[in-house]
Structure formats: C-alpha cells, structure tokens
Chain A
Amino acid sequence: MSILDLFKRRGTAPVARERLQLLLAYERNSRGKPDLVAVLREEILAVIAKHVTVDQDDVQISMERGERVSTLEIDIQIPNQAALAA
C-alpha cells in the first residue's frame, strides 16, 4: 500500500457489501432448492458416462459465480478409440 492509496482510499466496506449481496442473493435463492450447478454437473457427467467410461480422476470441475453470469468449467479427459482398442 502506497502513501497515495491512503489519500484516495474510500474504504473496504463497499467491497464487502457487494460481495455479501451477491453471495446472499444466490444463497437465499437456492435455499431448499437443488443447487443448479450441482444438477448440471451430475447430468452432464451422466450423459458422458452413457457413452464412455471416464475415471473420476480425469474430471476437473471449476466454477466462478458472477453477478449476471456464472461459468461452470468441466474438463473431462476422454480416452480416444485407439487407446481403448489397444
């Protein structure tokens, strides 16, 4: 933190308020309902599993919940046909 920051700093409370509003809006909305991201995750994995056998270790899932959009990133390593035949 520089000396300049001391003068221009408007306080961290606004950041806290925004973070909380975003989080609580999501949590209140999802109370009692199944978690959409969890449902998507389960169903996407189920569809994949119908066609190929995937080791759970080869699945990486990450998420970033934003104010207007959320991103769900599912990285699945699917063994190709040649590898399966070998």
Chain B
Amino acid sequence: MGKVIVVTSGKGGVGKTTSTAALGAALAQTGLKVALIDFDVGLRNLDLIMGAERRVVFDLVNVVQGQAKLSQALIRDKRIDTLFLLPASQTRDKDALTEEGVGKVVAPLKEKFDYVLCDSPAGIERGAQLAMRFADDAVIVTNPEVSSVRDSDRIIGLLDSKTVKAEKGEEIGKHVLVTRYDAARAARGEMLGIADVLEILSVPLLGIVPENQAVLRASNLGSPVTLNEPTNIAAKAYLDAARRLTGEAVPMVMPSERKGFLDRLLGRKAA
C-alpha cells in the first residue's frame, strides 16, 4: 500500500507544480513507482512541466466521470518508466470533480504505486480541499516571504481539519519545503530566514531549495530538474527532500551564499 502526498501551499506561484515534478521524479529515480495527479482542473500545468503536454489523451475528469479507465489515462514518463502522470482537465471547471470520484481514483493508485503525489491548485477552495482530502502526508511549499508563510499557515489549518485522516482523529504528516531561498538575501535580513519560517509554522522542515536558474531551465525543457541537471544544488535539494520523505535521515544542508565568479573577481561582498 502506497502513500498519498499532497503538495500544497495556499498561495499561487510558490513552486507547487515544479516541486511535484521534481519530488516525483526524484522518488521514481530510485526505482519507486510514482503517480502524479494534477488537481488544477481548468489550469493544468504539470503536463507542461513534465514535458507530456502533447501526449494527453484522457484526464482526471474523464476517469472520475467513467469515460476512461485509469490505466488508459495514465501517461508513462518517457525517461523513467516507474513514473506516471494523470493530467487535469483543461476544459472543464473544478465542479466536475466530486469527493467520491476523486476517492475512486486515488484508492486504486494507492494500491498500485509506492507514492501518489497530488499537485494542488492554489487557493483554499474546493479544488485545493479535494487535492488534500485523501492525503496521508502533506508537503507545504513555502517561499520565505510574508504572504506565502501566512497562506501556508492557513493551509496547515485545513490539513488538520478537512482531510479524511484529520476527521478520523489521526494526524496528517506535514513537511515544509522552503523554495526560492536566497541565502545572501536572508543573511542581509532582506528575506525571512529558515528559522523564522519554521518557528512561525512549527512544522518540520523537508528541505530548502535555493533560488536557482536550473529550475527555470528545467521548466523550459519540460524535464524535472532532478533529471535534467541532477548535480545542480536545487536538484540535490529536491533529491535529498525526496529521500527524507521516504523516512531516510539525510542531513540538512543550509544553502550558503555562494559568490559568483564575477563577484570574486571584483571583490564584491555579499554580506
């Protein structure tokens, strides 16, 4: 029996889809069977980030409404054969999903896969609540920035009240993934530090993904960053975070302010 993990944030644009793709690929790169579900009905993008946008035949709504079998709608990744994607529908609105329908999709996936990652839409409405509904664990993607932290707090409240697990009186596993972290700006006091974020949210840290150009390059190419540039520091942060998700104890590496070649040449100071 696999584990269902929702990747959520409340706020939009913090890196949910990028993180779903990177964590999913990182897990599958170790040989685990992974299914990614895009819950952002009407505004799907996980297909694009995964480079599968031209191969979508059926989607989540087709499966929920019985027009396609789950096995027909899953798209197998061309690079990792244990990685699958269930795209969101682009044409229908969020009301096309029902709790019962989503449950009927998630349950068999949980049987067949080691991990089912649910990419949540932004917001705290129905779509976001359906994405988290059957989750065992949650990855809360947070930027070190006031509005993102506030929205993460709001989402944590929903995770503790609106999920099946919470309603049964069990605790949903929560992990904060800080993305777009800029160590130099944090050191200058321009950006919230990791300690600030963790203290405010009081949720354990899954990883720190530094702001890095490789992430945009990966999106441009439609290849998760952990596959596209596995030795890059942002990719390594995702690879480590994925290992922590499986329960492995991986020491946390605090991104340090790395001076660029030009900075060193010109003797610029970062702090």
Chain A residues in the interface with B (C-beta under 8 A): 1, 12-13, 15-16, 19, 22-23, 27, 35, 37, 41, 56-57, 59-66
A1 to B230, CA, bound (A): 9
B229 within 8 A of A: yes
A66 and B217 form a contact (CB under 8 A): no
**Most chain A CB atoms below 10 A, which of B53, B57, B72, B91:** B57
Residue ID in chain B nearest A65 by CB atoms: B54
Question: Which 7 residue pairs are nearest across A and B when measured between Cβ atoms?
Answer: A16-B220, A12-B220, A65-B54, A12-B217, A63-B57, A23-B53, A61-B57
Q: Which residues of B contact A22 (CB under 8 A)?
A: 54
Chain B residues in the interface with A (C-beta under 8 A): 48, 53-58, 69, 71-72, 90-91, 216-217, 219-222, 229, 231
User: Knowing A23-B48, A57-B71 touch, does A64 contact B217 (C-beta < 8 A)?
Assistant: no
A65 to B56, CA, bound (A): 9
User: Knowing A13-B220, A16-B220, A27-B90 touch, does A57 contact B57 (C-beta < 8 A)?
Assistant: no
A57 and B54 form a contact (CB under 8 A): no
User: Knowing A12-B217, A63-B55 touch, does A19 contact B48 (C-beta < 8 A)?
Assistant: yes
Q: Measured between C-beta atoms, what is the minimum distance from A63 to chain B in Å?
A: 5
Q: Which residues of B contact A19 (CB under 8 A)?
A: 48, 53, 220, 222
A63 and B56 form a contact (CB under 8 A): yes
Q: Measured between C-beta atoms, what is the minimum distance from A80 to chain B in Å?
A: 23
Majority-rule SS of B interface residues:
loop
A60 and B221 form a contact (CB under 8 A): no
9 sampled A-B residue pairs with Cβ under 8 A: A13-B220, A16-B219, A23-B48, A56-B69, A56-B72, A59-B72, A61-B58, A64-B55, A65-B54
A16 and B221 form a contact (CB under 8 A): yes
Q: Measured between C-beta atoms, what is the minimum distance from B54 to chain A in Å?
A: 4
A15 and B221 form a contact (CB under 8 A): yes
Residue ID in chain B nearest A34 by CB atoms: B91
A66 and B54 form a contact (CB under 8 A): yes
Q: Which residues of B contact A35 (CB under 8 A)?
A: 91
Q: Which residues of B contact A64 (CB under 8 A)?
A: 54-55
- Which one of A1, A27, A41 contacts B57 once the chains associate, using CB atoms below 8 Å? A41
Q: Which residues of B contact A60 (CB under 8 A)?
A: 72
Q: Measured between C-beta atoms, what is the minimum distance from B75 to chain A in Å?
A: 8
A41 to B67, CA, bound (A): 11
B57 and A62 form a contact (CB under 8 A): yes
Q: Measured between C-beta atoms, what is the minimum distance from A14 to chain B in Å?
A: 9
Residue ID in chain B nearest A66 by CB atoms: B54
Q: Which residues of B contact A66 (CB under 8 A)?
A: 54
A1 and B229 form a contact (CB under 8 A): yes
